[in-house]
């Protein structure tokens, strides 16, 4: 497919467990973003990757959150020792080489539920 | 920091009628981009329309158009000839073109229901 894909679609975990969320961007898109959407809220920026540059981690809410990306391919968002307040939809987006003003294309998201 | 405000949590419109969704934003920047995204129950965020702040002409995409008032920092979305498929959450978003990460700042959304 040509769009952004994310897996899993839904994830239920117990408090204190670690989770990994995966994002496959559109081929050729060098910019990749992670956002969090809590119930009934807008999206909150978490982290940004652009090519081989150092990521912008300014939106990560705590040191339990981390993300990696290898080159211009797949990214994983890891949440360690999950808490109930981490329950949300995690959305990934990608855009082209010059992301200034360029459209960000979103994946369908991963709904995380922490019991 | 930029903020985006959508003052209408929910709206409804009759099929084939016109509806306007409001959005205001706060920024000290002069160059930026504004977007409207649609999020149906499938969760997929879909771009509806985008506007460059340096362009005075309002953007239009088929039945969707914006009223961009830069001095008032207002960016409303007009949907003409509303269709049942327009039922969704609509998010207004801001991107600072001078920022390093070009992240989007979103409003809290407006839930639009199109009534048959």
For the stretch A47-105, pLDDT in tens is: 999 888 889 999 999 999 999 998 778 999 999 999 999 999 999 999 986 656 678 99
Interchain contact B64–A (C-beta under 8 A): no
Q: Name B30's Cβ contacts closer than 8 Å, sequence gap at least 6.
A: B53
Dihedral pair phi/psi, residue B45, rounded to 5°: -80, 125
Cis peptide before B105 (omega within 30 of 0): no
* pLDDT given for residue B65 in this prediction: 96
Closest chain A residue to B91, measured at CA: A42
% chain B with pLDDT above 90: 77
Q: What is the pLDDT of residues B14-57, one digit of tens each?
A: 999 999 999 999 998 888 999 999 999 888 899 999 999 988 88
- Could you count the other beta carbons within 10 Å of the beta carbon of residue A109? 26
Q: Nearest C-alpha of chain A: how many angstroms from B105?
A: 7
Burial class (CB in 10 A: 0-12, 13-18, 19+), A93: buried
First to last CA, chain A: 33
Helix (H, G, I), strand (E, B) or coil at B84: helix
Residue B80 pLDDT greater than 60, yes or no: yes
Closest chain A residue to B53, measured at CA: A101
Band of pLDDT at residue A6, cut at 50, 70 and 90: very high
Nearest to A103 by CA among B102, B20, B53: B102
Q: Look at A90 and B101; give whichever has higher pLDDT.
A: A90
């Amino acid at each position: 497919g040509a769009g952004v894909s994310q897996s899993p679609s839904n994830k239920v975990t117990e408090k204190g467990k670690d989770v990994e969320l995966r994002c496959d961007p559109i081929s050729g898109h060098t910019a990749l973003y992670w956002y969090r959407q809590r119930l009934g809220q807008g999206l909150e920026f978490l982290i940004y990757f652009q090519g081989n540059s150092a990521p912008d981690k300014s939106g990560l809410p705590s040191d339990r959150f981390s993300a990696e990306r290898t080159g211009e391919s797949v990214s994983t968002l890891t949440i360690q020792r999950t808490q109930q307040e981490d329950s949300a939809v995690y959305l990934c987006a990608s855009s082209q080489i010059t992301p200034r003003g360029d459209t960000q294309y979103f994946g369908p998201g991963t709904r995380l539920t922490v019991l | 920091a930029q903020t985006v405000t959508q003052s209408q949590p929910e709206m409804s419109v009759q099929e084939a009628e016109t509806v306007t969704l409001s959005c205001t934003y706060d920024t000290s920047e002069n160059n930026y981009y504004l977007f409207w995204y649609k999020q149906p129950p499938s969760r997929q965020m879909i771009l509806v329309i985008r506007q460059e702040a340096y362009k005075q002409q309002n953007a239009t995409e088929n039945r969707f158009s914006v009223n961009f008032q830069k001095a008032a920092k207002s960016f409303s979305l007009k949907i003409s000839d509303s269709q049942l498929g327009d039922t969704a959450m609509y998010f207004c978003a801001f991107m600072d073109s001078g920022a390093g990460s070009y992240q989007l700042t979103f409003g809290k959304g407006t839930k639009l229901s199109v009534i048959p």
